[in-house]
């Protein structure tokens, strides 16, 4: 297992990586569905906590595989077998999502541990094949293994008052493992490949939002309850999702992955990008439920379920890119103004449609300004 060159030409996602993403679609869909039901039933805080915890596990396992594959993808039999074990772990995690939203993380943690320990074998194999990278591989293997032991031990203390604090602490330790590992010697990840992989996963989570909206429309058709409010939600939802895709790919990745320090900030920041993009679908489904009188929350809360994740998506992208590509002062403040207006839309009772129109206006202004 030799490291691949970071200057390799035409480095694209492999069929195995695309298959890996496809399996993770199941876990993302389960997380979004559980969030939808929690919000619609009025369990807002519980839903947000459960979604954050579950999506962190999904995102972190996906991200670690992506960066490792960018450096060491040899695509031989042992590599494929280890990847398939990770995929099995992802399916176990997906199966445990409903229980996780009820406070029982047992099945989800088992799936997560399976994914992470399979990743340990990959690091040890890479280190053994490349003596110069052995210290880095050992740090990754030790750090990841120690965290998994911590997660398993923590399962015995679910329900105790201090459990959430230790849970968050272990998550922070997981985030620190790559920084500790790279200090012993940087892995040879490929900037273009990483940008492509993140872009593909963004499309996946936006696709989940389209699916959630489609299921809501299907439920309305079957119930024969189409109304003007429902039509505005559908139109607004489509404008939102298409605009989010446009906004993400409108900002160039050039200059963001030129150093390890910038790559860490860009990569970690995508937890909020991916998580908010997937949550938009749950919010639109909640808005449809509310319009059909199937939700236990009001129109303002339903609108906020769409506005807040859209605002987070825009804010994080703006924060990641504004210092590198955006020099125009008008555009520098345009996105924050749009975010504030988006957060106010739930008060109007027509949040999805107005958010969609605001995003279209933002994109129109950027296009006109770029031509000028």
Q: How far apart are CA 172 and CA 168, in angstroms?
A: 6
pLDDT in tens, 296-348: 999 999 999 999 999 999 999 988 877 555 556 656 788 899 999 999 999 99
- Verify that 206 and 343 share a domain, yes or no: yes
Q: Phi, psi at residue 65, to the nearest 5°? A: -65, -40
- Verify that 25 and 118 share a domain, yes or no: yes
Last residue of a domain, one of 182, 207, 232: 182
Last residue of a domain, one of 133, 161, 182: 182
- Verify that 172 and 229 share a domain, yes or no: no
Which residues have CB under 8 Å from 286's CB, separation 6+? 36, 39, 40, 295, 297, 302, 305, 306
- Verify that 151 and 250 share a domain, yes or no: no
- Verify that 198 and 336 share a domain, yes or no: yes
pLDDT in tens, 71-114: 988 888 999 999 999 999 999 999 999 999 988 999 999 999 99
Let me know if residue 27 belongs to a domain.
yes
Q: What's the domain count of the chain? A: 2
**Domain range enclosing 313:** 191-371
Let me know if residue 105 belongs to a domain.
yes
- Verify that 271 and 228 share a domain, yes or no: yes
Task: Round the CA-based radius of gyration of the chain to a whole number and report it.
Answer: 21
- Verify that 286 and 199 share a domain, yes or no: yes
Per-residue pLDDT of the chain (372 residues; tens, 9 = 90+): 788 888 888 888 999 999 999 999 899 999 999 999 999 999 999 999 999 999 999 999 999 999 999 998 888 899 999 999 999 999 999 999 999 998 899 999 999 999 999 999 999 999 998 888 899 999 999 999 999 999 999 999 988 889 899 999 999 999 999 999 998 888 888 888 999 999 999 999 998 888 877 877 787 777 676 778 888 998 999 999 999 999 999 877 766 787 888 888 899 999 999 999 999 999 999 999 898 888 899 999 999 999 999 999 999 998 887 755 555 665 678 889 999 999 999 999 899 999 999 999 999 988 887 776
- Verify that 121 and 150 share a domain, yes or no: yes
Which residues have CB under 8 Å from 162's CB, separation 6+? none
- Verify that 234 and 345 share a domain, yes or no: yes
- Verify that 167 and 196 share a domain, yes or no: no
Number of Cβ within 10 Å of residue 159's Cβ equals 7
Let me know if residue 210 belongs to a domain.
yes
Last residue of a domain, one of 135, 155, 182: 182
Q: Are 67 and 187 in contact (CB under 8 A)?
A: yes
Let me know if residue 73 belongs to a domain.
yes
- Verify that 220 and 120 share a domain, yes or no: no
């Amino acid at each position: 297992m030799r490291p691949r060159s970071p200057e390799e030409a035409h480095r694209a996602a492999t069929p195995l990586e695309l298959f890996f993403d496809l399996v993770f679609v199941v876990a993302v869909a389960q997380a979004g569905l559980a969030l939808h039901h929690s919000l619609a039933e009025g369990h807002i805080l519980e839903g947000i906590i459960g979604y954050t915890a579950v999506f962190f596990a999904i995102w972190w396992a996906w991200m670690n595989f992506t960066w490792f594959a960018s450096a060491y993808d040899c695509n031989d039999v042992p590599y494929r077998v280890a990847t398939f074990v990770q995929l099995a772990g992802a399916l176990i995690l997906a199966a445990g999502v409903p229980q996780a939203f009820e406070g029982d993380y047992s099945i989800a943690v088992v799936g997560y541990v399976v994914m992470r320990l399979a990743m340990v074998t990959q690091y040890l194999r890479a280190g053994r094949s490349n003596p110069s990278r052995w210290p880095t591989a050992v740090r990754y293997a030790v750090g990841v293994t120690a965290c998994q032991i911590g997660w398993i031990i923590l399962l015995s203390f679910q329900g105790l008052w201090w459990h959430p604090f230790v849970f968050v602490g272990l998550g922070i330790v997981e985030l620190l493992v790559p920084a500790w590992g790279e200090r012993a010697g940087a892995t040879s990840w490929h900037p273009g490949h990483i940008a492509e992989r993140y872009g593909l996963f963004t499309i996946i989570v936006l696709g989940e939002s389209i699916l959630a909206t489609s299921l809501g429309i299907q439920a309305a058709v079957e119930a024969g309850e189409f109304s003007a409010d429902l039509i505005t939600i559908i139109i607004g939802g489509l404008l939102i999702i298409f605009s989010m895709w446009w906004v993400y790919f409108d900002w160039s990745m050039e200059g963001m992955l030129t150093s390890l320090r910038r790559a860490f900030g860009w990569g970690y920041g995508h937890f909020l990008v991916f998580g908010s993009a997937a949550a938009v679908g749950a919010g639109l489904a909640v808005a449809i439920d509310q319009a059909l009188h199937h939700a236990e929350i009001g129109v303002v809360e339903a609108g906020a379920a769409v506005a807040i994740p859209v605002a987070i998506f825009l804010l994080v992208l703006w924060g990641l890119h504004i210092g590198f590509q955006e020099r125009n002062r008008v555009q520098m403040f345009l996105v924050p103004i749009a975010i504030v207006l988006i957060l106010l839309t739930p008060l109007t009772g027509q949040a999805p449609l107005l958010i969609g129109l605001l995003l279209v206006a933002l994109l129109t202004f950027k296009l006109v300004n770029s031509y000028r």
